[in-house]
Structure 1
Amino acid sequence: MSTTTTTTPTTGGLAGLARRHPVPVFLTIALGSGWTALTIPNLVGQENGPFLVLMLVVLAGSALLVTSWTGGPGAVRRLLARALLWRFEPWRYAVVLLGMPVATLAVGAALGTAAVPDDWAAFAGTYLFMTVVFGLLLGNLWEELAWTGFLQSRFMARHGLLRGSLMTAPWFVAIHVPLSFTPGWTWSSAAFNLALVLLIAPFMRYLLGMHYLDTRGSLLAVGLQHAAFNASADLGSAGWEYAIGLVVLTVVMAALRHRPRGPGAPRPRGER
């Protein structure tokens, strides 16, 4: 007589806890390790560049680790595959690549603080490098694999686009707190940086959530938009024009997404 045994995943340990509570476990690992990585250079007075890379590794690694514990066979592969989803509308490529510099220059022009490039060809080359190569491939794609691909997608699936975006924003702010206390910081500079992050976080999460839903889960689109935001920071002499530009771009995209539609037209994805 032969017997057949089946194995079931263990319910003990950190993996078992992650299966029951994936979001708290992810946040504990990601924020605990991320804060540690970003605080070390502040304490020893070193540049934080290498530690930023470590933080990104920690964020993406935390998302992949918890996904492997909770998602079953192929879950990690499916999450990574979203980073390669490049088939979406050409107009959206224009938005994620050009929307932020256009909006930032428009805000600066309205306020008289626009930092208009002297050499547009040189600016275009530098901007595209900072967005596509340095920003996307080396940073923001992996950051958004965690924030959008793991965390916000879960929140939006349960609570919809608006609430899911707002629920993600505080954690997005939290991971950035140590960056306000890099060597040379002052209370005024830290307060300014923290206020800027608090302002942009809800709008950024909503904008990235729209891109994610409307491209059927493309982290490439999300990462490009995040990188374009960072690369637009120097287009205003006051230093905060790009934050207002983000608000403007988000409002415009939301208005276009919710424009009146014909009878029987489907609601936008993720709306509740």
Structure 2
Amino acid sequence: MSATDARRPVPTAAGGLRGRVARRPLTAFLVLVAVVGWPLMSLPALTTHGVLPGGPLPQEPFALGTTLLVMLPAALWVTAVADGRSAVRVLLRRAVQWRFGAGWWAAVLLALPVLTLAVGVAAGQGLQTGDLLATLASGALSVVAAVLLVHLWEETVWAGFFQGRLERRHGFLAAAALTAVPFAAVHLPLAFIGDLTPGGVGLAAGGLLVLGVLMRLLVGATVRGAAGSLLAAGIVHATFNASNNEGNLVDDLLAGGQPTLYAVVAAVLFTAGALLAVRGRR
């Protein structure tokens, strides 16, 4: 049996495909994502480098399709096979669970952008406040759209299905580290869109893994603090991207370059504070 499978006992008489899925739910999920999701995520890189015809394609539709058409259905189907349809309903209810503490609502909505700005200003960057209201409104709309379209369902898969199973079996830190590997691997085809050099691809893969571990710790701590809410997980994922990515909210507010390093420092601070706040919770 796979050491990474956190599973419930299955009758020994169970056989066939469903029996194998029930015994190894995480392995089954990873196989489905590798067979269907990876090729879909790889299409922009293949067209960019002329392996497939048609010219360069935008990566966003394929990332969205992988989440909504591959990973989410795979996670729900595997959950239904391994744990029953009631477990699917529980997982989906957690995706819309909005009742958690006001302090945690403030944290998941505001902490990462505010901390990133504070770190950037402390590092000597200036603030661009000339069109502040429009920038904040645009950033808020982008975060809402990202949560509803992508990150809520992405975290239903990773935080709710995958990492949650591992955490019950292996504990918080091991679950975060183990989940970071496939979480980073799913995004790896995007690293092949640019110039293909061994050093560049290796650096991109390493960066994805480091960010993956940080993200899984951040999201895992948030889920504990927000009473198991996957909505909170999706929001904190989106606010991290809004703090980290070029052209998003924090980048528009800070003068002086992409705020990736500041966002990473902010995420470390947030995660450390969240873990202190939820120590002892399961």
State the alpha-carbon separation in 1 of the partners of residues 229 and 270 from structure 2: 19
Deviates more, 1:69-78 or 1:221-230: 69-78
State the alpha-carbon separation in 2 of the partners of residues 208 and 219 from structure 1: 9
State the alpha-carbon separation in 2 of the partners of residues 198 and 73 from structure 1: 33
Partner of 1:253: 274
Partner of 1:26: 29
State the alpha-carbon separation in 2 of the partners of residues 23 and 117 from structure 1: 47
Contact 2:225 2:274 in 1 (8 A): no
> Match for 2:225 among 206, 214, 234?
214
Following superposition of structure 1 onto structure 2, how do residues 203-242 of structure 1 map, counting pairs within 5 Å? 203-232=214-243, 233-234=245-246, 235-236=250-251, 237-240=257-260, 241-242=262-263
Partner of 1:15: 18
State the alpha-carbon separation in 2 of the partners of residues 222 and 196 from structure 1: 21
Contact 1:19 1:69 in 2 (8 A): yes
Contact 2:119 2:265 in 1 (8 A): yes
> Match for 1:157 among 165, 168, 178?
168
Partner of 1:263: none
- Alpha carbon RMSD of aligned pairs, Å? 2.2
Any idea what the Cα deviations from partners look like across 1:112-143, whole Å, max 9, x if unmatched? 246645322112111211112x2110000111
State the alpha-carbon separation in 2 of the partners of residues 239 and 205 from structure 1: 20
- The one-letter code sitting in structure 1 at the alignment partner of 2:163 is Q
Partner of 2:102: 90
Report the TM-score, using the length of structure 1 for normalisation.
0.84
Report the CA distance shift for 1:160/1:9 in structure 2 as closer, same or farther (over 3 A).
closer
- The one-letter code sitting in structure 2 at the alignment partner of 1:227 is A
Unaligned runs of 5+ in 1: 1-7, 259-267
Paired residue total: 252
Partner of 2:114: 102
> Match for 1:129 among 138, 141, 155?
141
> Match for 2:207 among 196, 213, 219?
196
Unaligned runs of 5+ in 2: 1-10, 49-56, 252-256
Contact 1:200 1:246 in 2 (8 A): no
State the alpha-carbon separation in 1 of the partners of residues 267 and 35 from structure 2: 29
